[in-house]
Chains A and B, each alone.
Chain A
Amino acid sequence: MASKWEAAEHVPFQFATARQKRAFIRKHALLYIISIPGVLFFLVFKYIPLAGSVIAFQNYNIFRGISGSPWVGLEHFQRMFAYTEFIGILKNTLLIGLYDLLFAFPVPILLALLLNELRVAIFKRIIQTVIYMPHFLSWVIVGGIIVGLLSPTSGFVNHMLKMFGIEPIYFLGEKSYIRSILVGAGVWRDSGWGTIIYLAAIAGINPDLYEAAQIDGASRLRQTFSITVPLILPTITILFLLHIGNFLDFGFERVYVFLNPLNSENGEIIDTYVYRAGLVDRQYSYTTAVGLFKSLVGLALIMIGNALSRRTTGESLY
C-alpha cells in the first residue's frame, strides 16, 4: 500500500553498529513473533504448493508421484487450445469478469456512501446487517433461491410479470439472460459485505474537514463529492486492483449452480470447464495446465492494471 507521498516519508532504519541492530530486533521481538504464523501460512499454503504446478508438464499419476510421472512438455496446453469450445469458454470468462467489474464493483461504494448519509443509527445498523446477511449463505442456497424466484411456473418474478400481462419468461432457459443473472446474484449476495471496508474508510475521515465545508456552505452532496469520495479513493483503487487480480476467479460454484444445457453456451467459464473436464475425470495434469494458464492471464491483467493505475492516480499495489 505504498502511495507516492508515503514513499517520500519512508526512510529505512539505519543502524550504526550491529549491536544496535540486535537491540532493535530484541525490542520488537514480539512483533516478529506474531508475524510468524502469517509468514508460515503463506509459505505452506501458497508458496510450497506452487511447486506442484510442474504436474502441468507431466502425465501425473498419483501412485508414481511427481518424481515418477513421465514428462510430456506442453502437450496439455496444446490440447487445451485445440479444444473447439475453448475460445468460447475463455470469452465467457473474460466477459463475465468484465461485467462483474463494471456492475458489481461500484455497488458497495454507492451503498457505503448512502449508508453514511443515514442519520438514525439504529436504522443504519439494521439496514447494514440485512444487506450483508446474504454473504453468509452458500452459493448452493443462493442458487436455489434464485432459481426458485425465476421459475416460469412458480417464481415470484414471473408472477409479477403475469400481473402486468406479460408472458412468463424462462430466464434460466435463455442463454441471453445467464450473464446478467450470474452478476446480479453476486451483487445481491456480496455487495452488502463489500460495504464494510468502505464504511471503515469513511469513518476514518477527519470530521474537521466536514465542519470546515459546512461553514463554507457546502451542501451534503457537495461534501460527498469533494471530501468523502476523494478521501476514500485510495481504498477504492487498492480494492479495484485486488479485484483485477481476481478477475478470472469468478468462482466455480456460483456459476455451476445456474448452468444447464440451454444456457451453458454463454455461461460456462474456465472454472466450470476444469471441473467438468478435469476433476470429474481425474485428469490432474490437464486441469493444472488450464489453471496455470488462467493464473498467467490473471497475472498479466494485474500488471497492466497496476501500471495504468500508477500512471493515472499514483496509487498502486507495488
Chain B
Amino acid sequence: MKKKTMWLVAAALTAGSALTGCSGSGQPASPSAGTNTPAQKTKFSISYPTTVSTGYHTRIPDLSKDKWVLKLGELTNTELDVRVTEDAKMNLMFAGGDIPDVVGVIGTATTKSLSGSVESGVFMPLDDLLKQYAPNLMKQVPKAAWDAVSYKGKIYGIPEYLSNPSRRATFIRTDQLEKTGLPAPKTVDEFLNVLRAMKKNGVENPYQMRENFKYADVIFGAFDVLPYKDQFEVQNGQVVPKFFDVENTQKALQVYKTMYDEGLIPKDFATISSTDYTKNINGGKAGIWSANATGLPGYRTGNTQVTPSAKVDIIPSPKGPDGKAGYFYYTPVVRSFYINAKTKPETAAGILKFFDWMTTEQAEKFFSLGIEGETYTMENGKINYKFPKTQEDNEEEGFRSGTLWATHDATYNKLRLQLDDTGRDTLKAFDTVLAKEGLSGIGFYPDLSSFVKFPDLAAQQDVGPKLIIDHMIKMVYGKEPISDWPKVIEEYKSKGGNEIIKEATDRYNKKDGVIELTVGK
C-alpha cells in the first residue's frame, strides 16, 4: 500500500514537472478539451460493473493486456488498468477499501451497490470538470440522466443513458396468430380473445406468465397500475403508488384472474422462474410474452430451432380503457461511472477526456464493429462485419460493445443492428412501437428513506412491494376476493404506507431528488 502511494506521488511529480516544463518553453498547456490529445498518457484504474460471473472477462488472465483494452488505450491516449467487478461484490470492494480511480456501477448515484459511497464523499463532484473537459458529453446526455447521477444538486457520475426509456415490448408468435385467423390484438379484450383462440389451437401457455408478475405485467400496464418504484403518481394532491387507483387495479386483477381461470396462463405461474420462462418461450410453448425488445434476435433463433416455421415479432401492447399501453419507463441511466475523490486533478481531467471521446463517431465504430481489417472491412463505403459465430465470439463482442463502452446512448447499438434483418426489425420496433408506448411515473433518487424502514412496502424497479404482490397473487388464485383491494390499501397505509406517502409528497413538493420519467426528453 505504502509502495503504491510512493509510486503515485512519483508519477504525480513527474507529471507536474512535465507540465511546468511545457509552460516554461512558452507553450502553455491548453486546459480546454482538445481533440488532439497531449503526449502525456493518462494512467488510471477503472472497474467496470457486470451482473454475470462468466463471459469474456473471466477468460482473460490480465485484462489490462487484453487486445481491446490496449486498443482502447491507444485510441484515447490512456493506460488502463481494467477490472470487471460483479455487482453483487461491489460492497466487498468498498469494505476492503481498495477503490480504483474510476468505479462503474449498474444504476444511479444512490444505488445500493454503491453502498452509500457517494453520500460518504468517496467520489468527487464533476460539474466543473465536465464543463471543461467533456463538453460533448455534457450536451448529449439528457437532463433526466444527469439528475439520476446527481446527489444534493451536484453531478457525481458519468451515465450510460437511455434516450428512449421504453424498453420492454410485447412479443407474439406471428405464425400462431395467423393460425387463429385473428388480427393482432389492439385492446385488452382482443388480447384475451387471441389468447383463447391460441389455447384452442393447442398453445400450452398462450401468455407466458411468470412469478411476481415480473415480465408479465402487460395488463397492469394497460390499466396503468404498475406497482413499481418509479411509478408514483399524483392523486388528490398526494404522491402515491399507482395501485392506489382502486378501480383500475381491480379491473387489471380481474383480467389476470380470467386468464388464470381459463388456463390462458400457466396454473403454477407463482413458481415459474425466469429459467422456466425462457425455456418455455424458446421451447415454442408460449404464444405471447413480455420481454426486452433487444431480445428479439435471441427469441427468433430460439423459436426457429424448435419449430423452423416459427415467426416471432414485436407488436404494440394491448391498450386499456384510457388508451394507455406498454410497460414502465426505465430509469434513464443503465450504468454510471464515478471518479475517486483521491484521484489527482490531472488524471481526473484525462479521465473525463476519455469519457468524452466515447461520444464520438470513431468510438461508436470501434465499440460496435471493432478494428478495421480484423473484425470488419469496408467495401465501397459498405460495412462487411464478421458476425460472431460461437458463444465465445458473442461474449467477446459483448465485452467490447457492452462492457467497455462506458458512456453513450444505450437504447440500442444502431450501427451494429443495421447490419442484419433481425437487427433492423429491432430498430423498427424501437422507433415505431416502443417510442409510442410506455408508462410515465414519478421516481425518487436516492430511494425514499421510509423504504428502508418498511422493507415489505418497498418496491423495486420492476417488482412491486412484497405486501402488494402477495395480495395480488392471492387474488388471482382466488384465495382472496378482488373486491378487498381497498382493504389492501388500508393495510399498506397502516403498516407504514402513510409515512411513505408523506415522504414522497414532501420530497416531490421540494423537488428533492425527484425524477419524472416521461416520454421525450
Contacts and interface: CB of A to CB of B under 8 A. Distances in A.
A84 B495 contact: yes
Given A63-B122, A173-B270, A280-B455, 5 more contacts: A147-B271, A152-B268, A172-B270, A260-B271, A262-B270
A282 B211 contact: no
B458 to A, nearest CB: 7
A170 B478 CA distance: 13
A62 B91 contact: yes
B248 interface: no
A173 B477 contact: yes
Contacts of A277: 455
B479 interface: yes
B112 A261 contact: no
Interface stretch (B49-57, B466-474, B506-514): B466-474
Contacts of A151: 268, 271
A128 interface: no
Interface in A96-131: none
Contacts of B245: none
Given A61-B120, A84-B495, A282-B115, A170 B91 contact: no
Q: Which of A260, A265, A276, A277 has the most CB of B within 10 A?
A: A260
A138 interface: no
B445 to A, nearest CB: 16
A64 B117 CA distance: 10
Interface in A50-81: 61-64, 79
Contacts of B115: 62-63, 282
Among B268, B452, B456, B477, chain A packs the most CB atoms within 10 A around the CB of B268
Nearest to A282: B112
Nearest to A273: B455
Given A63-B116, A281-B452, A172 B268 contact: yes
B267 interface: yes
A226 interface: no
A148 B122 CA distance: 47
Interface of A: 61-64, 79, 84-85, 147, 151-153, 170, 172-173, 260-262, 264-265, 276-277, 280-283
A264 B452 CA distance: 21
Contact of A281 (B112, B469, B472): B112
Contacts of A84: 495
27 contacts: A61-B120, A63-B115, A63-B120, A63-B122, A84-B495, A85-B456, A151-B268, A151-B271, A153-B266, A153-B267, A170-B267, A172-B271, A173-B268, A173-B270, A173-B271, A260-B270, A260-B271, A260-B473, A261-B212, A261-B472, A261-B473, A261-B474, A262-B474, A265-B470, A280-B455, A281-B112, A282-B115
Interface in B207-242: 211-212
A75 to B, nearest CB: 12
A281 B453 CA distance: 10
A62 B90 CA distance: 12
Residue among A62, A64, A79, A170 with the highest chain B CB neighbour number at 10 A: A62
Nearest to A259: B271
B95 interface: yes
Nearest to A62: B95
A289 to B, nearest CB: 14
Contacts of A262: 270, 473-474, 477, 479
Nearest to B266: A153
Contacts of A152: 267-268
Contact of A64 (B120, B212, B474): B120
B94 interface: yes
Contacts of A170: 267-268
B444 to A, nearest CB: 15
Interface in B74-132: 91, 94-95, 112, 115-117, 120, 122
Interface in B424-468: 451-453, 455-456, 458, 466
Contact of B94 (A63, A85, A153, A265): A63
Counting contact residues on chain B (CB < 8 A from A), the size range is 20 to 34
B299 to A, nearest CB: 22
The A contact surface, by secondary structure, is loop
Interface in B152-200: none
A172 B479 CA distance: 14
A277 B458 CA distance: 10
A281 to B, nearest CB: 6
A166 to B, nearest CB: 15
A260 B271 CA distance: 7
A265 B474 CA distance: 12
Contacts of B479: 262
A265 B471 CA distance: 11
A61 B455 contact: no
A84 B454 CA distance: 10
Contacts of A64: 120
Contacts of B268: 151-153, 170, 172-173
Contacts of A276: 455, 466
Contacts of A153: 266-268
Contacts of A172: 268, 270-271
Interface in B316-364: none
A280 B460 CA distance: 11
B452 A283 contact: yes
A56 B177 CA distance: 58
A262 B270 CA distance: 7
Interface string B240-277: 00000000000000000000000000111011000000
A276 B95 CA distance: 21
Nearest to A158: B268
Given A62-B95, A63-B117, A282-B115, A260 B456 contact: no
A264 B470 contact: yes
A61 B473 contact: no
A84 B497 CA distance: 14
A277 B465 CA distance: 12
B398 to A, nearest CB: 25
B211 A260 contact: yes
A282 B472 CA distance: 27
Contacts of A260: 211, 270-271, 473
A45 B5 CA distance: 31
Contacts of A173: 268, 270-271, 477
A147 B211 CA distance: 13
Given A63-B122, A84-B495, A261 B270 contact: yes
B460 to A, nearest CB: 9
A62 B267 contact: no
A299 to B, nearest CB: 27
B32 to A, nearest CB: 35
B316 to A, nearest CB: 30
A148 B266 CA distance: 14
Contacts of B473: 260-262
A261 B469 contact: yes
A283 B268 CA distance: 33
Contacts of B120: 61, 63-64
Contacts of B270: 172-173, 260-262
